Amino acid sequence: MSGHIRVTDSSLRDGSHTVAHRFTVEQVREIAAALDAGGVEVIEVSHGDGLGGSSFNYGFSLVDDRRLIEAAAEEVERAKIAVLLLPGIGIATDLKAARDLGAGVARVATHCTEADISAQHMQLAAELGLEVNGFLMMSHMVEPAVLVEQARLMESYGAETVYVVDSAGALVPATARERVAALRDALDPSTHVGFHAHDNLGCAVANTLVAIEAGADRVDGSLGGLGAGAGNLATELFAAAAERSGVETGLDVLGLAAAAERALETLGVRPARNRQSLLIGYAGVYSSFLLHAERAAGRFDVDPADVLLELGRRRVVGGQEDMIIDVAAELKAVAG
């Protein structure tokens, strides 16, 4: 694989579903700053159902989305702030306000057969100077040829990127690949193709990697997989898998792993995975080393992540568990 892949992190939008839209200003600031430091290029912020989503039907936000957008924009140094808008939920004034508060990307989302309702919103976003992205939700529900027709409509309305959105987490690698490939073949070469994964079948990482092979150059994730259903592609897991696959993302694997751990702890969300379990795969060490490494790290007051990474560098394998204590002791000695 080659070429730079731009990652949008949706922790502060799709992840809003996970916390019942209860993000505080302080949480948004901390997460946005961590994502920016971790190399994420676009950070999406809004109610889980997009601008205007705070309502009886979709659930009220603890803090007005406009305040959260402003807070995120104030924290970042490099990343762009994105907002999601579903026509019929978000309206023109929401988009204008988001732009004024620091948003730079508008992601306009429709059902995969209703791209025609996005025209006015996309055209307004372009007039406001925003980067325009199109989101074709529930993309598993139609065949690739139908998805292509809808993607061409969004492209004609000014979408710079059109996303295959696996809203239900129902795609597997073969079906993700064929949809992305169909869009890549049909759209103008200057139009980007994106992929937004959910992990309901446990295929988020694999689906995203095959989407990239098929021509997607913009993909979505979220810290710890925060998101609707079983959650999204975990940004930190993708960062590690992408590096191992030769995919250029500019992401800081260890920084994002730590950020995910902090975010899940702060939000009170029980993680399906943690930083150390990620590092087992990232470092390429035996899975049963995890508890041993955590205990050794506690005994010598060192970071278990450092223990695992060093074990990986030494290519320690099952049956060499005695090396775990040695490595922890040596790390402590070096640290003084």
| Residues with catalytic roles | 17
**Do 208 and 198 contact (CB within 8 A), yes or no?**
no
Q: Which residue, 206, 175, 205, 176, is CA-closest to 193? A: 176
Question: Per residue, what are the HEC states of the chain?
Answer: CCCECEEEEEEECCHHHHCCCCCCHHHHHHHHHHHHHCCCCEEEECCCCCCCCCECCCECCCCCHHHHHHHHHHHCCCCEEEEEECECCECHHHHHHHHHCCEEEEEEEEECCCHHHHHHHHHHHHHCCCEEEEEEECHHHCCHHHHHHHHHHHHHCCCCEEEEECCCCCCCHHHHHHHHHHHHHHCCCCCEEEEECECCCCCHHHHHHHHHHCCCCEEEEEHHHCCCCCCECEHHHHHHHHHHCCCECCCCHHHHHHHHHHHHHHHCCCCCCCHHHHHHHHHCCCCCHHHHHHHHHHHHCCCHHHHHHHHHHCCCCCCCCHHHHHHHHHHHHHHC
CB atoms within 10 A of CB 270: 7
The torsion angles phi and psi of 95, rounded to 5 degrees, stand at -70, -40
Looking at this protein, which amino acid is placed at residue 326? D
